[in-house]
């Protein structure tokens, strides 16, 4: 049983298109996250939801919009894709806020390539 | 704001030997967590070990131990009896305190285990 799953694993698309990445966790966690890993492998948080409520919204272009239909799912929609959006996007989840010290478990990542 | 520094872009170790991966952090928070993750070439992010700032004992998980020196703000990962499968990128991260649940990652250390 996969704890945190993401679809698709690979996404290749043209500049200007709109695409979505889906994430699901079966750990019963309350908090979910999106991280971006750039070409230099640097990981940076983008968004976080706790029980469907947005709690972290880093300086990310408005073209990126997360949506959490329930606490087990967190999707990422990206409008008007740009070359610079090419990266690996990781979904993660943790039990609850607990002062931010709960272990975050990551999904397998989605490698987005914008041509 | 929290910051993680990993000064070793690449490390090499012989199989069956121990290796230490360095991590220093910068935070003004009293309560925080320190994490290590492994990213093999397949790309997934695997949680290895956690240390809370108030934990007096160094964390251990199997062949992994965290050498926590609070006064020096260091949280080095020690891998004992290295195996070929340990070859991967290793990330140190911190979370909690005023940064809430966001994890701040270092730039990573690429470990290569030689036979």
Looking at residue A104, its pLDDT comes to 94
In whole angstroms, give the CA distance from residue A41 to residue B91: 10
Looking at residue A1, its pLDDT comes to 66
Q: Is B85 left (phi over 0), alpha (psi -120 to 50) or beta?
A: alpha
In sequence order, the β-bridge partners of residue B51 are B34
Closest chain B residue to A32, measured at CA: B101
Q: Pick from A56, A88, A90: which is nearest to B101 by CB?
A: A56
Q: Per-residue pLDDT averaged across B57-86, rounded? A: 97
Looking at residue A56, its pLDDT comes to 85
In sequence order, the β-bridge partners of residue B114 are B14
Interface test with B, best of A101, A103, A112 (most B CBs within 10 A): A101
Looking at beta carbons, which residues of chain B come within 8 Å of A94?
101
CA B17 to chain centre: 18
- Residue A115 pLDDT exceeds 70: yes
The pLDDT tens digits of the residues spanning A43-101 come to: 999 999 988 889 888 888 999 999 999 999 999 999 999 999 999 999 999 987 556 67
Q: Per-residue pLDDT averaged across A6-30, rounded? A: 97
Q: Pick from B47, B91, B97: which is nearest to A100 by CB?
A: B97
Looking at residue A97, its pLDDT comes to 56
Question: How many degrees, rounded to 5, is the angle at CA A77 between CA A71 and CA A81?
Answer: 160
In whole angstroms, give the CA distance from residue A35 to residue A6: 13
- Residue bearing the bigger pLDDT, A1 or B65: B65
CB A78 within 8 A of CB A13: no
The closest alpha carbon to A74, from A85, A60, A64, belongs to A64
CB A20 within 8 A of CB A78: yes
Q: How far is CA A33 from CA A30, A37, A58, in A?
A: 10, 13, 11
The whole-angstrom distance between B57's CA and the closest CA on chain A is 17
Looking at residue B108, its pLDDT comes to 98
Interface test with B, best of A103, A107, A112, A113 (most B CBs within 10 A): A103
- Residue A6 pLDDT exceeds 70: yes
């Amino acid at each position: 049983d996969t704890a945190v799953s993401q679809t698709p694993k690979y996404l290749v698309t043209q500049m200007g298109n709109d695409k979505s990445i889906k994430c699901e966790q079966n750990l019963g966690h309350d908090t979910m996250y999106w991280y971006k890993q750039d070409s230099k492998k640097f990981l940076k948080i983008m968004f976080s939801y706790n029980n469907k409520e947005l709690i972290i919204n880093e300086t990310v272009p408005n073209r990126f919009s997360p949506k959490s239909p329930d606490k087990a799912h967190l999707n990422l929609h990206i409008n008007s894709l740009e070359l610079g959006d090419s990266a690996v996007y990781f979904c993660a989840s943790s039990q609850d806020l607990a002062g931010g010290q709960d272990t975050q478990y990551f999904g397998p990542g989605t490698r987005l390539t914008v041509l | 704001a929290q910051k993680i520094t990993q000064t070793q872009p690449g490390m090499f170790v012989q199989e069956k030997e121990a290796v230490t991966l360095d991590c220093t952090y910068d935070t003004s928070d009293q309560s925080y967590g320190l994490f290590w993750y492994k990213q093999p070439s397949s790309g997934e992010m695997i949680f290895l070990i956690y240390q809370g700032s108030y934990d007096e004992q160094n964390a251990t998980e199997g062949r992994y131990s965290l050498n926590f020196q609070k006064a020096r703000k260091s949280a080095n990962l020690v891998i004992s009896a290295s195996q070929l499968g340990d070859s991967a990128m290793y990330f140190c991260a911190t979370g909690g305190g005023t940064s809430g649940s966001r994890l701040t990652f270092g730039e990573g250390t690429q470990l290569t285990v030689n036979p």
